Chain A
Amino acid sequence: MKTREGVAWQAQVERLELEGWEVACRRVWLVEARRGTHIEQAFAPTREVALGEVCQMTLLDGVEGCP
């Protein structure tokens, strides 16, 4: 991709590859759940998987717990 934006991200990819990273860019679903100042986020190839991960995190963090 040789668009103006594409050149910028391609340069970043090239820099990472020079440092030994193998870089893959793909589109994903980002699911975000907010309650007050609390945010849970997950991203995954499908909306269902991302939503499922957010659900798990809200379950794990439903209460603050006792010290």
Chain B
Amino acid sequence: MAFATATRARYATELDGIRAAGLFKEERVIHAPQGADIEVEFPAGSPPRPVINFCANNYLGLSSHPDVIAAAHEGLDHRGYGMSSVRFICGTQDIHRELERRLSVFLGMEDTLLFPSCMDANAGVFEALLNDQDVMIADRLVHASIVDGMRLCRAQQDSFKHADMAHLEEKLQEHADKRIRLVVTDGVFSMDGDIARLDEIVELAERYDAMVLVDESHATGFIGATGRGTHEHCGVMGRVDLITTTLGKALGGASGGCVSGRRELVELCRQRARPYLFSNTVAPVIVAGALKVLELLCGSTERRDVLAENARAWRQRLTEAGFVLKAGESPIVPVMLYHAKLAQDFARDLFAEGIYVVGFFFPVVPKGLARIRTQLSAAHQPHHLDRGIEAFVKVGRKYDILGRSREEIVAKYGP
């Protein structure tokens, strides 16, 4: 059947429904390299305007770092543009293996396997390692890609209340009869910015003979004293079985992801993980850039330290200004507004003030917990933070929410 008029109308109606529900996602076009200062065209067709970016995952400010760009150029010159093959046929270069080796060293794991993205790593890892005699027990706030990966796996799915160790223990006891128990968590949770209690999770896992998988996408490169991640922050390096993480955020922000972990588990992913087997891997130009990123991170913690200080100062100043924040210590700082329309209006007004942030509301976050997720970067300088706070305070005054509690904001704007 061709794309019949009735079929077109059906899809158009569906899109209208998304718009009517206020859930239509519009891309804002950036006319500049990624960074703290960017030029954004929004609404579509309007002239690009300069704004300060507080919504990128560019945690270490490496997306447009000159050394990374130079290394990528060199990679392009020496290893070409594309591989035109999956890894196990003729799509593996020396630099792919070198990046896997260097990631293993950086993360403190035995072996690593690259994937086209961390979304692909999470889509492939569970099905490759578990079967219907096993169980996956996930924190209820894990990333959507983990949920998707678990759905592709025949092992039983279960969950524990967010960060609730007593509930996790109950679940581990309940599944004592399973062949393998795999506890699954994010290292840093993308919606709330809180850090997993990984030390307690690992202790429980060891007590109940379970494995632990951590998605470190919002942690690798900057959480922990030397940026190794949540396992370093919580003092459990060497005791986590599997890490999935991304090259698409702090580590240069281009694309690519990996599974890193116990040698046998990674090798089994190399044999069975379908996104690895049936898709080209990361392009040589990105591999070359990522190798430079790791070299920079191993040489100095300066960027990680600047980021930590920016996040601390940003949290403190927003709190002093009277905003309600989600508690935490990561560079993800959610400003709670609770009401969906308020979050949208607030983000729009901040954009008019030259501050680029995005409002999140149901179904991205639970109902009644709408927010603006701000994300700090090592690329932010003091004047960026000053300007950001100034704009937040101005818009906060307009909506009369400064110093207001959750109950007062909900009473004023509705749940």
A residues near B, CB below 8 A?
Answer: 53, 56-57, 59-67
Contact = CB atoms under 8 A, between A and B. Distances in A.
Contacts of B158: 56
A52 to B, nearest CB: 9
Given A65-B144, A66-B365, A66-B373, 12 more contacts: A53-B157, A56-B157, A57-B157, A60-B142, A60-B150, A62-B366, A63-B365, A63-B366, A65-B147, A65-B191, A66-B191, A66-B364
A64 B360 CA distance: 11
Contacts of B141: 65
B143 interface: yes
A60 B190 contact: no
Given A56-B157, A57-B157, A62 B143 contact: no
Contact of A67 (B150, B151, B159, B190): B190
B140 A64 contact: no
Given A60-B138, A60-B147, A60-B150, A66 B157 contact: no
Contacts of A64: 144, 363-364
B362 interface: yes
A4 to B, nearest CB: 32
From B142, B144, B362, B365, residue with most partner A Cβ within 10 Å: B144
Q: Majority SS of interface residues in chain A?
A: loop
Contact of A63 (B138, B156, B362): B362
Nearest to B140: A59
Q: How large is the interface on B (under 10, 10 to 19, 20 to 34, 35 or more residues)?
A: 20 to 34
Contacts of A63: 191, 362-366
Contacts of B142: 60, 65
A57 B157 CA distance: 7
Contacts of A62: 140, 366
Contacts of A59: 140, 159
A56 B363 contact: no
Contacts of B159: 56, 59-60
9 contacts: A56-B159, A57-B157, A60-B142, A60-B157, A63-B191, A63-B362, A65-B141, A66-B360, A66-B364
Nearest to B366: A63
Contacts of A53: 156-157
A59 B158 CA distance: 9
Contacts of B157: 53, 56-57, 60
Nearest to B157: A56
A60 B143 contact: no
Interface string B129-152: 000000000101111100100110
A54 to B, nearest CB: 11
Nearest to B332: A66
Contacts of B191: 63, 65-66
A61 B190 CA distance: 15
From A57, A63, A66, residue with most partner B Cβ within 10 Å: A66
A53 B147 CA distance: 14
A63 B23 CA distance: 13
From A53, A57, A63, residue with most partner B Cβ within 10 Å: A63
B93 to A, nearest CB: 29
Nearest to A55: B159
